[in-house]
Structure 1
Amino acid sequence: MSSRINIGFIGLSSKGGWASSAHESYLKNSSIYTIKAIANSTIESSKSSAEAFGVNKYYATSEELAQDPDIDTVVVSVKVPLHKSLIMPALLQGKNAIVEWPLGRNLQEAEELTQLARSKGVKTMVGLQGRQSSVVKKMKDIISSGKLGKILSTHLYAGGILWGPTIDESKSYIADIENGANMITVLGGHSLDAMCYVLGEFESLTATTHNARKTIELRDEKGNKIRDIPLTSHDQMSVSGVLTSGAYASAHLRGGSYKGTNLLWEVEGTHGELQVRGPNGHLQLSFPTLYASFDGEDMIEIAVHDEQDTHVNVGRAYDEFAKEGGLYPTWEDAVIRHRMIEAIYRSAQTGTKQTYKTTY
């Protein structure tokens, strides 16, 4: 890749949102990347965003953006059901590609995209930025060092904020499980990816999914109730099994936000323990606190000094993507995570233990 990476960005809105807070906030100060062009859902939106973010070129469609010879990498940060259709033109033009997690609505879409990217020889990254969390990396370092001894078990308990009693109209699509952006794929995908990144994949798993709430209250931008809509995305999920390392693992994920525990992740070894606590169940975008106990001593906080902002972990992923041999989640990693999620669904539907292929 050239010393400067030129980005075509699909889904960067001048009205705010994840793309502007997590991506543009990093990219605007980057010495590595330049946003060369923007394409949104309408030409008017594209023009507005280009003017707001100081970008010279804007397009009406992803096809037009993909044909721009000045662009070598295309970023897609839009609703999950549109991921595949919007990134396909870039792949066909041989552009490198960065897409938010989930990569597709389901495993089939993720596999199709990954196969095409591999056939074109392009570089890919998926937005599983929890791997860039300082806490996650510190846990991985401690475990790899052997300080905890043999890992015996791990337990994860997380709240999803969303998929609770109410939802904003702008996010209503996540209530429908068919759209692929649900509690299991988003909260589960990010948190279980961090767990598997640190401790290894499931050798086998058993899962239960449930809808404690059958409907969710839809609210307008002022917080007023519009109506109740069906909630087909699960708001409760538990999964347990044995990891490839031989350790036992369990997780309970639930929708909503609570006054009690929203994030608790524990790892137990023969010579020590780790514990992560935080007010937000989304490990990938929050900054929890890490505690450790070694050889029976009391738990102590392991200091991790981080800038606490939405763009931090996303920016670190961009930094790694720019390096030769950088450590970042590829689309092959995304396929493995989609396989795990499909195994969770199969187990919940059949009531049987399931496995999935843990390598690409």
Structure 2
Amino acid sequence: MEKKIGVGIVGASPLNPGWGIAAHIPAIQALPTYYELKAVSTSRIESAKAAEKEFGVPAYDNHIDLINNQDVDLVVVAIKLPNHYEVVSAAINAGKMVYCEWPLGKGLEQSLELARQAKLANVRTVIGVQARFNPVIKYVRDLIRDGYIGKLLGTSLVGSGMAWGDVTNLSNAYTLDNSNGVNMLSIPVMHTLDALTYMLGDFKDVSAESAVRQSKALVKETGETITKTAPDQVAILGTLESGTIMTAHYQGGVARGENLRWTFRGSEGELVLNAGSGQVQLADNLKVYGATGEETELQELSIPEKYYASSSQLPEGVANNVGQMYLQFAKDLQDDTHLTPDFEHAIQNHELLDVIEKATIAGEKQTVK
């Protein structure tokens, strides 16, 4: 590229490291041909000073100064969901490109408004649904499309939320309050359903149930017991446009065995994905097992090297899939394509999330538009 993309990250405190530090900064640093970190912001002057020392770039204790930095072309919003709307809207109004972590807004209405603002301002956007960039997810998608298991009959998965159990840490305690919108359905389930629609196509209809089965949670750092209103059980039954039946059951907390088991059964064979993490967007240890034709036992499948071609320059772990999103976005800007999930894509997911929520309230099947 003729000019590197200057990146400013909102939410990058070394004193309280979060997703910005764990995933975004390593990904950006691994792609120096395309990107350069230009600024970071935190919520306090102490953490801003620590960030400036840590990363060697200007650091602010507010997002407005970061957005107004002329060297920042792309504003990355890696903060808690309740604050997304204010920061994303400000970045759009300044004419900056925006990479926002999923969910886009707190509910469908906020998200629609942010997508509308971005469209009117004609700014490029990215929504952080990185599971579809995992090489294993891409490989399974191709196996199914190439007929490895014949006609896909059904798919089912059981997953752990990893959070939303009976123990939490202080920084994630707010996710147990359902009014904040950061719950097991909106995070691990929707990240997984984004990967599902990438592999198998869109939904036709859904039914769903949710429940709070453990109403109290212990905060590890303080020993305090807090009330949990966010569901720790979410079950979905859906029909895809292809006619394929899918089921998903997510449970709060961490399982003692597999935290993700995802089965794809076809007329000629079967595929199984599993991982140590129930959150597909975070899993860097996905494994796939398959059997086809006359084979009667599942065997672990080796992922062809071509699926890792774009990963070789990226760090292992959670920064890898995020880095692949950055790489695709840079190519989109270079080639004037739109292959990176953007705010319009986010709206599709938010509309699906809204339908699932309505299905849990109504207790009956809902049509997906």
TM range (shorter): over 0.9
Q: Structure 2-normalised TM-score?
A: 0.91
* RMSD of aligned Cα (Å): 1.6
Q: Structure 1-normalised TM-score?
A: 0.94
Query: In the alignment, which of 281, 285, 304 is matched to residue 282 of structure 2?
Result: 285
Alignment partner, residue 330 of structure 1: 342
Alignment partner, residue 320 of structure 2: 312
Q: Contact 1:8/1:38 (CA < 8 Å) preserved in 2?
A: yes
Q: Contact 1:275/1:291 (CA < 8 Å) preserved in 2?
A: yes
CA positional deviation for 1:296: 3.4
Alignment of 1:148-187 (within 5 A): 148-187=149-188
Tell me, in whole angstroms, the C-alpha distance in 1 between the residues paired with 2:3 and 2:235.
45
Q: Contact 2:11/2:18 (CA < 8 Å) preserved in 1?
A: no
Query: In the alignment, which of 250, 258, 271 is matched to residue 261 of structure 1?
Result: 258
Q: Does 1:206 align with 2:207?
A: yes
Q: Does 1:69 align with 2:66?
A: no
CA positional deviation for 1:45: 2.1
Instruction: Output the amino acid matched with 1:292.
Output: G
Instruction: Give unmatched runs, 5+ long, in structure 2.
Output: 309-314
Tell me, in whole angstroms, the C-alpha distance in 1 between the residues paired with 2:191 and 2:228.
21
CA positional deviation for 1:69: 2.1
Tell me, in whole angstroms, the C-alpha distance in 2 between the residues paired with 1:313 and 1:29.
12
Q: Does 1:270 align with 2:267?
A: yes
Please list the CA deviations of residues 95-153 of structure 1 after superposition, one character each: whole Å capped at 9, or x if unmatched: 11001111112111111111111111111111111011111100111122223222111
Instruction: Output the amino acid matched with 2:329.
Output: F
Could you say if the C-alpha distance between residues 293 and 327 of structure 1 is closer, same or farther in structure 2, counting changes exceeding 3 Å?
farther
Please list the CA deviations of residues 43-64 of structure 1 after superposition, one character each: whole Å capped at 9, or x if unmatched: 3322321221111x22332222
Tell me, in whole angstroms, the C-alpha distance in 1 between the residues paired with 2:207 and 2:318.
33
Tell me, in whole angstroms, the C-alpha distance in 2 between the residues paired with 1:58 and 1:261.
41
Instruction: Give unmatched runs, 5+ long, in structure 1.
Output: none
How many residues end up aligned between the 2 structures?
A: 352
Please list the CA deviations of residues 307-338 of structure 1 after superposition, one character each: whole Å capped at 9, or x if unmatched: 64121111111111111236322111111111
Instruction: Output the amino acid matched with 1:7.
Output: V
Q: Aligned with 2:367: secondary structure? A: coil
CA positional deviation for 1:2: 5.2
Query: In the alignment, which of 314, 318, 329 is matched to residue 321 of structure 1?
Result: 329
CA positional deviation for 1:285: 1.2
Could you say if the C-alpha distance between residues 218 and 156 of structure 1 is closer, same or farther in structure 2, counting changes exceeding 3 Å?
same
Answer with 81-90 or 320-329: which moved more: 320-329
Alignment partner, residue 355 of structure 2: 343
CA positional deviation for 1:80: 0.8
Please list the CA deviations of residues 264-289 of structure 1 after superposition, one character each: whole Å capped at 9, or x if unmatched: 00111112211101121011111211
Alignment partner, residue 36 of structure 1: 38
Tell me, in whole angstroms, the C-alpha distance in 1 between the residues paired with 2:320 and 2:194.
18
Instruction: Output the amino acid matched with 2:37.
Output: I
Alignment partner, residue 108 of structure 2: 107
Q: Aligned with 1:323: secondary structure? A: helix
Could you say if the C-alpha distance between residues 2 and 105 of structure 1 is closer, same or farther in structure 2, counting changes exceeding 3 Å?
farther
Query: In the alignment, which of 50, 53, 56 is matched to residue 51 of structure 1?
Result: 53
CA positional deviation for 1:349: 0.7
Alignment partner, residue 195 of structure 1: 196
Q: Contact 1:62/1:87 (CA < 8 Å) preserved in 2?
A: no
Tell me, in whole angstroms, the C-alpha distance in 2 between the residues paired with 1:153 and 1:251.
11
Q: Contact 1:105/1:178 (CA < 8 Å) preserved in 2?
A: no
